[in-house]
Amino acid sequence: MKKRILLICLCIPILGNAQNLIDSLKKMLPLPADDSIKVLQFIDLGLEYYRIDVDSSLLFIEQGLALAKKTADNYLIGAGYNSMGVAYYYKRDFTQAMDYYMKALPLAKASKDDDFIARVLGNIGILQQETGQNQEAIQTQLEVLNIYKARNDTMEIGRAYLHLGAIYFALQNYNKTLEYFFQTLSAFQQVNSIVGLGIIHSNIGEVYLANKDYKNAQNHWNQALKYQLLSNDKGGAAITRMGLGELLLKQQNPQAAIAEFNQALQLAQESGDNRTLITLYKHLAETHQQLNDLPKAYTFLSQYATLSDSLNKAAYNEDLAEMQTKFDTEQKEAEIAQQKLELAQKNAQIFRQRTSIWGLIFTILALGVFAYLFYNRYRLKQQQILNEAIIYEQKLGLNAVIEAQEAEQQRIAKELHDGIAQELIAIKLGFDRLALKTNNNISKEAENIKELSSLLNETCTGVRTISHLMLPPTLEKEGLVSSLQLLLENSLKRLGIVHEFNYSDVNERFDSKIELTVYRIAQELINNTLKHAEATRIAIKLQKADNQLIFKVEDDGKGYDFEEARRKGSLGLLNILSRVNNLGGTFIAEPKAQRGTISLVQIPL
């Protein structure tokens, strides 16, 4: 009930059909107007949307706020911040809402516009109440009340009384609540606010219902309904009829309550008030369940769960599952009862002759059901074992492929280092000796030999580099950090690419498979960056957190579409994914906010 009163308070300014007003505002947006008017049009459109689609509400208000900042008009910027707070309030993001209200408040005070100041303070007071800061909310709303009393604004004085009453209602101080609500009633009567009178009578009815004064509750709700129908306030009328339905339930008249709830449901649907619809679906589900009308109860509970998907979804699904189970059980029990009745009627005629036969049949059926259940359970278990075996075999196969690749690379690297490289060095030394012998005698040939010796030297260096890349000796001797440092030096420094390597919290060795996997992934990512990204800066981070090894690579290159590359079957990407999956890890690649790519590898330790 606290929520319902508070929502009613916030809805006072809303008149007529929200969708019609939204359509009118949308038609005005393309029309010529200065930026100040455009800002207000965007904000008004956003505030009308909050009952239908909060995300759309935020979208329009954000456009208004952005335009307001371009105008550098602090009043308009403050109005944008205040409206953003309202939208986030209805999105139930109270932290963001309060943040925007607090941004709006100093701009409102700087404008010296009392009405603006009071509206921002009023919204802050509502949010304080919503978050349980009731005493702070009272002080804030009293400050609002004093502002409007100084201006002698009867309508706004009534609104302030209404908010104060709502706070005391949340504190269950019903006497103080009624005191403020009747002051509200008097103020709205003075200005003849049809909408306001509908709201305050509805709220007074809520208080009397909470106080179990059903007669007064019904009288005030009837008054509220009269005013709400006059003002075409379908949302308010839906809430009032819902209250009348609750009252009828308390008076043990569920059929009449359902009639009220159905009328309320139609009004809430027409007004687009989803919050009221959620409550009505729940009331209808519970009432039909009390009447043992389980199909209708299940239908309304399904609608309740669907509409409430973003709020406590698990709890709703649990209720839905419980209702489904109960409904299925009731249906089965009814079918079984009918079968038993027919069986009993037949058995009454031949009971003596067929007793033993039916007993035998029943035993066979029971055994058959038991055998079926046992077989089905056995089959499912075997299927599970088979699936686990397939996954295990696939993992073994993948592991074998990777290990075979590494073994082959190690063999080739060793052959390069111990075989070809050594032979090239021997040839170079021979050329050097020959150059010394021929240097004084055949100067031209000596020059050619010297050039060939230099070429051999470069080739030896290249072979050694390839050998170290395929099988870095530092990986086995010094570990992952030293190997990555050397890789960055050899790959990036000579190309003039700025790079940094952060590994401050990693000072230990890891399993050789993990170190080799991270090193190979680093090679692949750096090669991709050099070949395709046109990057000027690469940052690598290695850290250990939550029993995981995390490896992160960022560059400022052109970026790429990870999903598109995976669909096309990029060999480098598939190699990375295979290595990560083999260790039970994850790989994520996504574009940075401005330019470049972030690649993240997480491997469990």
* Alpha-carbon distance values, 482 to 320, 474, 487, 554 (Å): 57, 7, 9, 19
**pLDDT for 315 beyond 50:** no
Whether residues 385 and 496 share a domain: the answer is no
The reply to whether 444 falls in a domain is: yes
d(CA 130, CA 90): 11
The reply to whether 151 falls in a domain is: no
Mean pLDDT of the chain: 79
Give me the pLDDT at residue 391, please: 58
pLDDT in tens, 185-207: 999 999 999 988 999 999 999 89
**pLDDT for 317 beyond 70:** no
Whether residues 406 and 488 share a domain: the answer is no
d(CA 590, CA 559): 8
Single-letter code of the amino acid located at 1:
M
Whether residues 439 and 524 share a domain: the answer is no
Whether residues 587 and 480 share a domain: the answer is yes
CB 199 within 8 A of CB 8: yes
Whether residues 557 and 460 share a domain: the answer is no
Higher pLDDT, 127 or 415: 127
Higher pLDDT, 480 or 321: 480
The reply to whether 71 falls in a domain is: no
* Alpha-carbon distance values, 388 to 212, 394, 396, 401 (Å): 62, 10, 12, 20
- Reduced to 3 states (helix: H, G, I; strand: E, B; else coil), residue 12 is coil
Q: Last residue of some domain: 471, 486, 511?
A: 471
Task: Put residue 16 in one of left, alpha, beta given phi > 0 → left and psi -120 to 50 → alpha.
Answer: left
Element (H, E) at 591: strand 586-591
Whether residues 517 and 554 share a domain: the answer is yes
**pLDDT for 80 beyond 70:** yes
**Number of domains the chain contains:** 2
Whether residues 598 and 481 share a domain: the answer is yes
Domain that holds residue 506: 473-604
The reply to whether 357 falls in a domain is: yes
Of 30-39, 141-150, 423-432, the range with the highest mean pLDDT is 141-150
Predicted TM-score (pTM) of this structure: 0.46
Whether residues 418 and 451 share a domain: the answer is yes
Whether residues 439 and 536 share a domain: the answer is no
d(CA 495, CA 505): 28
The reply to whether 522 falls in a domain is: yes
Give me the pLDDT at residue 3, please: 40
Whether residues 521 and 573 share a domain: the answer is yes
d(CA 297, CA 320): 10
The reply to whether 340 falls in a domain is: no
Q: Last residue of some domain: 435, 454, 471?
A: 471
Average pLDDT over residues 18-43: 64
Whether residues 466 and 480 share a domain: the answer is no
The reply to whether 412 falls in a domain is: yes
d(CA 184, CA 162): 6
Task: Put residue 510 in one of left, alpha, beta given phi > 0 → left and psi -120 to 50 → alpha.
Answer: beta
Beta bridge partners of 542: 551
* Alpha-carbon distance values, 167 to 77, 174, 185, 217, 419 (Å): 30, 10, 17, 19, 87
- Dmax (CA) for the chain in angstroms is 133
Whether residues 423 and 462 share a domain: the answer is yes
Q: Last residue of some domain: 442, 471, 500?
A: 471
Report the CATH number at residue 481. Answer: 3.30.565.10
Which pLDDT band holds residue 398 (cuts at 50, 70, 90)?
A: low
Single-letter code of the amino acid located at 522:
A
The reply to whether 510 falls in a domain is: yes
Give me the pLDDT at residue 216, please: 92
pLDDT in tens, 436-458: 666 655 566 666 667 777 777 77
CB 509 within 8 A of CB 477: no
Which pLDDT band holds residue 16 (cuts at 50, 70, 90)?
A: very low
Which pLDDT band holds residue 43 (cuts at 50, 70, 90)?
A: confident
